[in-house]
Structure formats: structure tokens, C-alpha cells
Structure 1
Amino acid sequence: AKDNHSCIDIAKRALYLRQQRNQSFAGEAEGGVVCSISELFTGSGLMETEAQALPMTKRPSASRFRRVCVFCGSSPGKKASYQLAAIQLGHELVQRNIDLVYGGGSVGLMGLVSQAVHEGGRHVLGVIPRTLMPREITGETVGEVRAVSGMHQRKAEMARQADAFIALPGGYGTLEELLEVITWAQLGIHDKPVGLLNVDGYYNSLLSFIDKAVDEGFITPTARRIIVSAQTAHELLSTLEDYAPTHEGVAPELGWEMEQLGHSPKLEIAR
């Protein structure tokens, strides 16, 4: 928990830095001492080169997405680059005026991305099973926390609320959530974009496995194109903005997917 609070502090400072016209700002010390990015992050667990990698980007045009669902780990990971990526993704969502849906935790990468979006003034919706609240929520949460009865309801609610999906690095839970929304897209349950933020090649092996499945005839080439990947949040979101489905789902008229997503047939699932 202590390490995660340190990362949350990084998120707050990084967001402040991004709002400045150059790579320095009046620091928190008395007298308004000017600190560089590398000085700011000294002692925070981030290498100087990683701190300087926080890019200044132009404000993107209005997004087609109102809310994006982010899947990610409840652990921060061993590399500072994973933590930076979560912060940068949160900032990119803010820049595009996009709200966040996520797994509701305040720890790990979940805590970082939610804090970054919240600090930027956008709405944060966390969906979490009641049984996981003691484990994945420590200290203060941000935004709206919606407690649900179980994992299936959590995934269904996140999918219903989102206009697109992005996976940061994570473990079994992240992979399970990611693969499920990919499968739903393949089946025609939704046509929302699905993106991988492939930080430091974290998902290279997964992408190679999927390409192998295409080569062996288990995934069609058009279904392979459901997955969009990029190394930076800015590049990924820009690509997702232009995404258009090219595969044919097996349930184009919708039907059983209403039950799959946990909703009455009277309700429409946003496609």
C-alpha cells in the first residue's frame, strides 16, 4: 500500500507537469524553487530518463468515445515504465475529455490510472465485487465506486458502460477480461474497439500466440484485426478513434448476448 501511495503522488505531480508550457515548474518547496522533471522524480522510484519521457502533446480533437474501460493489474509491476504508462493513459483520457470505467481498485496500476483521470477532472466509475473490496481498495478511493455481487456482473457492467476497451499490463484477471471482450467482439455481441497498451513489449508474446493461432487456422485473419496495439497511450487512442470493424460476427442481430451481458432483452447494448 505504501508503494502505491508513492505512485499516486507521482500521478498527481505528473499531471501538474503536463499542464505546464515547458519541462519545469514552480516546485512545492518554499520560495517557489524551480525543479526539472528529473529532479521532481528523484527518489520516487523512476529513473531520470523515464521521468524525462513524459511527452508534451497537443490537445487532441473531440473524441468519439464518451467513456473507456481500462483493464489493468492490481499490482504496480516491477518496472517504473508500467506505472508511467498508467499515468500517461489517464492523462491522455483527460486530454480527450474521456471518462474512465475500471475495476474499482485503489492499488497498483488501477489506482494510478484512476487517480490520474480523477485529478484531471473527468468522471471515474469503479466496478468491483463486494468480496474484493477489502483486498483491492486501501485508503481513499476516487470517483464513483459501484459494488456488484460477483466477477461476471463486474465484467458485464464495465462492458455495458464503455465505448472502447484498453488493457494495460496485468496478470490473469486482466487477460481474462481482455480475452472475453475480444471474444464478444468476434461473436458480434459488440463492435467496440479493443486496444493493448504494449508497454516495453509486455504483450509481444500474447500477440505472437494470437498470430500463431491465425496461422494454424483457429482465428480468422479478420478476427485478428479486432485487437489494436500500440506502445504509447497517445498512439493507441488515436488508432482506436479510427477503428472500424472488419470481421463478421456470428450473432449480428443480437439476442443471447443480452443474457451474456447480464441485461434484460428490453435493454439495448450500445454497439
Structure 2
Amino acid sequence: MTQQDKPAVVCVFCGATGGNDPVHLEAARGLAQEFHKNNVQLVYGGGTTGLMGEIARTLVSLSGPKAVHGIIPVPCNGNGNGTPEQQNGEGKAAERVVAEAIDEAGIPESEYGITTIVPDMHTRKRLMATKVMEGGKGSGFVSLAGGFGTIEEVMEMTTWNQLGIHRVGLVLVNINGYWDGLLAWVRNAVKSGFISGGNGSILAEARDVAEVWPKLVEYQVSRDRMQLNWGEE
């Protein structure tokens, strides 16, 4: 199968909680509907709660379980006896509890798609990125609202783009100005000379979920990104 024939694979970073404003859960459902319309496959962190669970469950209901691939580290896949933050559903690691036996193929399909269990966070992020880079035209990274873990994932993939490790699009879904602070920081970093003007556009902004797919398909890499040889990265 050629790159042109492959379906797009989009990794979505987002919170394991729904936040205080239902508009963010609505955005997760709306983004899943956009993915369904455009035959996009979802890769995400494997959670069943909050925005993570909402986008996965919605896309499975529309496109079937093979359209969703959750990737979760073993420590996040425990028996529910996590930290107080995890027990209250407030932490990034408040994710799926799996009762079934685990094998190399992951776990059985469910209303949240197919899940692969990995040993640690680094393996998780690398595998998510690999799945995206193996996808067809329009593949990339998208962020809905989230907390520390979400912004860390977004900025790592932004850095990878700047370093020349990948050349796919990155889109912030800026519902109700949620990411205004981050975008203002980028503009200030460009103004202050810590980020080049070209690299200041690595992160694209979508004010509505309907804008996400066109921005991924039309994404242009920065003229200022580094031309480094990463071998098998």
C-alpha cells in the first residue's frame, strides 16, 4: 500500500477528565465525527475517562473498534489503587483498568477500540508517534484541552518537528480560548528571539473542530526547521 492509499492516522492529546465546561466534551465528540467523515484513524493514550474516553468511544461507535488504537503504559493500567488524584479521576494516569489477560497483541476490542500495553511512558509516546508517521496524507498530532501531560506531549512533538524528526502537522483545538496562553507565549518567544519566525508557525490553531482536518491536510513544514539526520527515528 502506498502512502497515498493509506488512511490518515491522527494522535490526539487531551485530558483524562472532562473539565468544568461541557464545551470540551462536545469538542471531543465533534472531532470524532470529523475523523469518521474523513476516514481518519485515531491513536490516543488509552484512557476511558474524560476527553480521552469521549473521543475514543464516539469514534468506535461511528467507525468501529479498528479505527481507534489506545496505547497505555503498564503502571497506568493497574487495579484502580492509584494515587488520590488518579482515584478521583483528576490525573493524566486515570486510565483504563483492564481485567483481561494481556498479550503482545494488546487486549480484545472494546467500545474504546484496540489497546496496546507498553512498559513505560517513553515507549508509549514513541509508538504513538510511529503510528502517525506510518499513516497517509493528513496524519498528524492534535490537541484538545488537557493538563500537564497534554501540554508536555504537544510540546515534545512540536520540538520533534523543529528538529526534523517528523514533518506532519500539529494542531491546537483552541476552544473558548483554552490555548490562548500557550499561543501568546509562542508569539512572545518569537518576538524575543528564542524561536524563529518560521518555527513560530509549527503549531497551527483551529478555533473549531471542523477546521482540524483541512489544517492537517494543508499543513506546510517550517522553512526554519533543522535538517538533521535521525537515522531510524
Identity %: 35
| Bigger Cα Rg | 1
**Cα distance, 1:244–1:65 mapped onto 2, change above 3 Å:** farther
Aligned residue for 1:221, secondary structure, equals coil
Are 1:143 and 2:102 counterparts? no
Which one of 147, 152, 165 corresponds to residue 171 of structure 1?
A: 147
Question: 1:163-203 CA distances to partner (integer Å, 9 max, x unpaired)?
Answer: 20000000000000000000000000000100000011000
2:77 is matched with 133
CA contact (8 A) 1:164 1:193 kept: yes
How far 1:250 sits from its partner (Å)? 2.5
When structure 1 is superposed on structure 2, of 135-144 and 161-170 the one drifting more is 135-144
Q: CA RMSD in A?
A: 1.9
Query: In the superposition, relative to structure 1, how do residues 185 and 65 fare at CA in structure 2: closer, same or farther (>3 Å)?
Result: farther
Q: 1:231 aligns with which of 198, 207, 218?
A: 207
| Aligned residue pair count | 196
CA distance in 1: counterparts of 2:30 and 2:146, whole angstroms: 16
Structure 2 counterpart of 1:253, from 218, 229, 232: 229
In the alignment, what sits opposite 2:86? none
Q: Distance in 2 between matches of 1:98 and 1:77?
A: 25
Unpaired segments of 5 or more residues in structure 2? 79-93, 99-109, 133-138
Identify the structure with bigger relative contact order (alpha carbons < 8 Å, sequence gap 6+).
2
Residue range with higher mean Cα deviation, 133-142 or 212-221: 133-142
Displacement over 6 Å in runs of 4+: none
**Structure 1 residue 251, shift from structure 2 partner:** 3.8
User: Could you report, residue by residue, the CA deviation over 1:118-168 in whole angstroms, capped at 9, with x for unpaired residues?
Assistant: 111151000010100133115865211000011111111101101200000
The SS at the match of 1:120 is helix
Call closer, same or farther: CA 1:200–1:65 in 2, change over 3 Å: farther
Report if the CA contact (8 A) 2:141-2:171 is conserved.
yes
Q: Name the counterpart of 1:103.
A: 45
Question: 2:5 & 2:27 partners in 1: Cα distance?
Answer: 20
2:77 is paired with a residue whose SS is helix
Q: Quote the offset at 1:246 in angstroms.
A: 2.6
CA distance change for structure 1 residues 105 and 154 in 2, over 3 Å: closer, same or farther?
A: same
* SS of alignment partner, residue 70 of structure 2: strand
| Aligned partner letter, 1:111 | G
Q: How does 1:62-77 map to 2 (within 5 A)?
A: 66-77=8-19
Task: Give distance in 1, aligned partners of 2:175 and 2:220.
Answer: 24
Q: Distance in 2 between matches of 1:85 and 1:100?
A: 15
Q: Is 1:209 matched up with 2:185? A: yes
What one-letter code is carried by the residue in structure 2 that aligns with 1:152?
Answer: H
Whether the 8 Å contact between 1:188 and 1:248 is mirrored in structure 2 is: no
The answer as to whether partners of 1:65 and 1:98 remain within 8 angstroms in 2 is: yes
